[in-house]
Structure 1
Amino acid sequence: MSNNILTTSLILIYCFSAFLSKSSADEQPAKPRPKITISKETTFITEPLDADGYPDYVAALNQHCSRGVTPENNAAVLFWKAVGPAEIKPERREQYFKMLGMEPLPEKGEYFRKSDKQVDLHKNPQNNTDEYVLDPLYGELNKVTSQLWSQDDFPVWANWLEVNEKPMALIVEASKRPRRYDPWFSSEKYKHAISFRFTSHEYRDVARAFLARAMLRAHQGKIDEAWGDIMVIHHLARLVGQGPTFVDLLVALTIDSMANVGERAMLAQANMSAVTIASMQNDFRSLQPLSDVINCFHYGEQLFALSIIVDLSSYSCTF
């Protein structure tokens, strides 16, 4: 009898424990649903979704921009090999280069030297009495990128081109590639928003170096080589213009205008035959349009704006 009572008691205790466990599990709060309706009319995209069930605009933007891109046809792969990883945050570099399909770049290497670095290396300390006054070397840079010039007149900038010879050769190869894709990431502060980090700005200083070299080569009578540098600038502008935002378009316009400055200087100051000018004109006419403004607004800019709105609706941002 006592054994039966003990067995019955154990069974009751087990059943009661199971009931409590189930009740506790049932009482756990369910994962909150997104505070917005996921639809074409409200969120524009319905997939992919992130872990919280919200539209993953970062993933969507990367999918859109990288469609048809490979490490072999992506100009960004060669561009970063030429300029180095310094402008990419260290904590994102591994993932950044993985998304480009390339090995991470070492911190130090024979990378492109920026113009401000060249100024820092060669400026006269006596000229730095006022932090708001630009060093005279920047005035020289404006001259070597707007008129024909000689090495004797501007040795600092001749040296700049000399030390950048190898990375510029790599960028020439990059300019021949048909696509340019740089990865996008989510904002560090706002969970669902796309980060406002535009790598297209890195192309401007590189374009400035090609313009300076074109002006130097034109002065030396190397018209074909000078024109080749001008065309590199045009191609870089069109690669930058493939970006999904108006910022990319504005940077592309800025870079393309550099080439226009070089063309006007060559026409006004260089000794060129009518045949040479006609050939240049044909090259210019063969260029593709800079960017699709409608596509920038319809997709890229819309995703940026919606990612911020979705983040606000999720209450993940703080004020």
Structure 2
Amino acid sequence: MIQFKISKQWRPVFLTLLAVVALLFRDADGDDSTKSRIKIDRETTFLTSPLRTDGTVDYAAGINARIKQGVTPENNVCVLLCEAMQPLRVWDMPPEYFKEIGRTPPPKDRSHVRYLTAGIADPSSEAAKQRLYLVVEFIQGDPRPWKRSEFPEVAKVLDGDAEPLRIVLQATERDQFYSPVITRGVDEVDPLPLVAAMDPMTTQLPYLVHSLRMRAMLNLGEGNHEAAWEDLLACFKLGRLLGMGMSKTHAQHSHMLEEQNCAAMEAYIRTADPSRSQAKQYLRALQSLPARVRLSEKIDLFERCAYLDALLVIRTNQEEAIAYLDCEPGLAAAGKMVNRFWKDAIDWNETLRIGNRYYDRLVKSLEKTDPAQRREETTMLHQELKSLAERATGIRVTDDTAKGNAATESKSMLLAAIIAENLMSDIDKHLASEARMKQRFENLEKTLALVANRNGFREE
């Protein structure tokens, strides 16, 4: 055995290092007991850095570091889009957001794309109410060609928004989407739980696309086919770029936009009667759009981290932070139940490990190439989680499980299942939305291919 001695001059340094190592093994709230210590590794926290000053994983910073790779202020579509977006009243983008994307905050009084109902006066008569109903029904309806004489109120808004819409079109020349996760503290909660992180792009970008699509249908109705196609192609690209966002919410909005864009393009083909060469051009352009990002990638990073972060929020038992978990219905109630009945009987490391394994299974299922197999496996996992979660339904302080007579392992497993079942409950809905969108786009491709290749169609 090799022996060594520490010289006197190195002894203070060595003792300092020991103290630092000891701190690294303490848990977030300063308790270094084996029972409460959270192990920082892939099996528990998944991300192992960066760490906050209290020793917990900064999930928002870790996610941002991953998704912004290769993104610059010059290729990030969000840098330009925030100039055209309406300033938000409830939750405006904080300074940290703009610092993260590498630009200064745009002025509050900037020209921006307005909601299409902005030009409609408040109804003061029964006739005005009926007109308002008709305009809103048109705005929310399926895309179709129209003229200024039909809805002058909507046309006036679009004409007045020409400059911010020009910025939106300019933004589509970029090929990256990076809208950072911001968990800036609100009230006395800092940081916010990851499930409460807000990205204005998921709510604001669809409005920008809707205005462009409505202007495309206006140009189509008035015979300006080239301008209509330019706006429609921008709509498709913006929808795909939004899909590059980190969460399943980004994917959901992207799917919705692509379905609506396909409907508008179908109307365009029926009305514009494109030539064979034009149809080939349109088909090539649509097939050159940014690739769709897989749902499994969002589940593997952001959604998994949101799950792990929610568990750690419950563990800290801070009432204000737990209240924000209700951004996902049911999470706050689960957190309160755990801290009332199970607080001292959860092996948090085991709960985190079990949860990670659930997400591993879900990601593996979503990576299947066969859609039917994906649905079958994800449904099976959800039913398993639901069955486990239902075992905790109705637990009260008088129950054996609540008293602590049930094994700690059982409680840890039940907690992992309760939270996972809550956060994974909408996966079937996302898969169905994705399938509809893909089918709609494939049908559009087939239509354009027929126009491009069928005999009898004009060349020019």
| TM-score after normalising by structure 2 | 0.57
Give the match for residue 233 of structure 1. Answer: 235
Does residue 180 of structure 1 match 2:181? no
Give the match for residue 73 of structure 1. Answer: 75
Give the match for residue 254 of structure 1. Answer: 256
Higher relative contact order (CA 8 A, sep 6+): 1
- 49-58 or 30-39, larger mean C-alpha shift: 30-39
Shift of residue 162, structure 1, vs aligned partner: 0.2
Whether the 8 Å contact between 1:113 and 1:163 is mirrored in structure 2 is no
Question: Size of the alignment, in residue pairs?
Answer: 283
Give the match for residue 133 of structure 2. Answer: 135
Structure whose alpha-carbon radius of gyration is higher: 1
Shift of residue 229, structure 1, vs aligned partner: 0.8
Shift of residue 31, structure 1, vs aligned partner: 3.7
Give the match for residue 100 of structure 1. Answer: 101
Give the match for residue 22 of structure 1. Answer: none
Distance of aligned partners of 1:280 and 1:123 in 2 relative to their CA distance in 1, 3 Å threshold: farther
Give the match for residue 38 of structure 1. Answer: 40
Whether the 8 Å contact between 2:84 and 2:112 is mirrored in structure 1 is yes
Q: Residues of 1 paired with 2:305 and 2:119: CA distance?
A: 38
| Map 1:1-319 → 2, pairs under 5 A | 31-33=30-32, 35-86=37-88, 89-90=91-92, 93-119=94-120, 122-126=121-125, 135-142=133-140, 146-186=143-183, 188=186, 189=189, 191=191, 193-194=193-194, 195-199=196-200, 200-316=202-318, 317-318=321-322, 319=336
Q: Residues of 2 paired with 1:35 and 1:125: CA distance?
A: 64
Q: Residues of 2 paired with 1:156 and 1:94: CA distance?
A: 35
C-alpha deviations, 1:237-259, integer Å up to 9, x for none?
11101111110000011111121
Shift of residue 304, structure 1, vs aligned partner: 1.2
C-alpha deviations, 1:78-98, integer Å up to 9, x for none?
0011114326735x5222212
| TM-score after normalising by structure 1 | 0.81
Say what the alpha-carbon RMSD is for the aligned residues. 2.4
Give the match for residue 6 of structure 1. Answer: none
Give the match for residue 386 of structure 2. Answer: none
Distance of aligned partners of 1:293 and 1:249 in 2 relative to their CA distance in 1, 3 Å threshold: same
Shift of residue 55, structure 1, vs aligned partner: 0.9
Which letter does structure 2 place at the counterpart of 1:142?
A: Q
Which residues of structure 1 form unaligned runs of 5+? 1-29
Which letter does structure 2 place at the counterpart of 1:251?
A: H
C-alpha deviations, 1:150-185, integer Å up to 9, x for none?
111111111111011000000111111111111212
Provide the identity percentage. 23
Distance of aligned partners of 1:190 and 1:109 in 2 relative to their CA distance in 1, 3 Å threshold: closer
Which residues of structure 2 form unaligned runs of 5+? 1-28, 323-335, 337-460
Q: After TM superposition, what 4+ stretches of structure 1 lie above 6 angstroms from structure 2?
A: none
Shift of residue 311, structure 1, vs aligned partner: 1.4
**SS of equivalent to 1:176:** coil
